[in-house]
Structure 1
Amino acid sequence: MDANVFALVPTHHYAGIKGNCLVVPRSHYENVLDIPDDLGSEFFRTTRRLAHAMRNAFGCEGISTRQHNGPAGNQDVWHFHLHVFPRYSNDRLYEGQKVPYTTEERIELAASLQTALR
């Protein structure tokens, strides 16, 4: 989405809430403690653009973001990334199970978001 940051539909969703994405820097940074200050504005801009696209593409009522750092912070992927979730009233996101997307679902969701980003 920018020279230093991109977004993608991951391989899974939670609680049946589809359309979640990851915002990821193109360069490697292990966690938020490692990213340079000047990358922050691009990261925020990409996250905000993606949030608007989710509202337009999916008609969600809200957006949540989530990011983990270090073992005690539940980090399990050692490359900085930010989860962005479309949210709906009483969706129970944090109570749901991790469920894989099919390849076709990922392609369809990504296409919807690309259209909404234009």
Structure 2
Amino acid sequence: MPTIFERLYSGELPCARVYADEHVFAFMDAGQLNDGHVIVASIRPYETLMDADEETAAALMRAARRIAIAVEREFSADGVTVLQANRAAGWQTVPHLHLHVLPRRAGDAVTLGWPRRDPPFETLQALAARIRV
């Protein structure tokens, strides 16, 4: 069964498209946390960033950058949050690779936070050794 983003891309469902290339497309989020909130999604139905090929992952960020520049300019944003989530535990709500470009305003009440733990430097070195690529 196609994902909602596949249905949007194919035209089965309407979307206010702002960008498309051979790997990704972007459209206004129907939820609009702030005016100018855009979703950039892969055309192929990869579930997560880790499933995507490198070309698609790079295209996702290239498009996000271009859109963030336009959003910041056109909506006079104080800043821009780019959010990409993977799997339910990582806050992903749609099982199709995408990211949000969200224009921000000081005091806009949009929140995102986590508790900081501040491990010792030696712990950071050990963690880095486990994933060094």
**Structure 1 residue 3 and structure 2 residue 22: aligned?**
yes
State the shift of 1:72 in Å.
Answer: 1.2
**Superposition deviation, residue 7 in structure 1:** 0.5
Match of 1:93 in 2: 110
Which of the residues 52, 77, 86 maps onto 1:69? 86
Runs of 4+ in structure 1 deviating by more than 2 angstroms, as ranges, are none
Matched position secondary structure for 1:93: coil
Secondary structure of the structure 1 residue equivalent to 2:70 = helix
Alignment of 1:45-84 (within 5 A): 45-84=62-101
Structure 2: gaps of 5 or more residues? 1-19, 113-133
Which structure has the greater CA radius of gyration? Answer: 2
Aligned to 1:25: 42
Q: Please give the root-mean-square deviation of Cα atoms over the aligned residues, in Å.
A: 1.4
Taking CA–CA contacts closer than 8 Å with sequence separation of 6 or more, which of the two structures ends up with the larger relative contact order? Answer: 1
Normalised by the size of structure 1, how large is the TM-score? 0.72
**What is aligned with 2:32?**
13
Per the TM alignment, residue 66 of structure 1 is displaced from its structure 2 partner at its CA by: 1.2
Q: Structure 1 unaligned segments of length 5 or more: list them.
A: 96-118
- Residue matched to 1:99: none
Q: Are residues 1:39 and 2:56 paired?
A: yes
CA deviation profile, 1:45-81 (whole Å, cap 9, x unmatched):
1001101110221111211011221121122211011
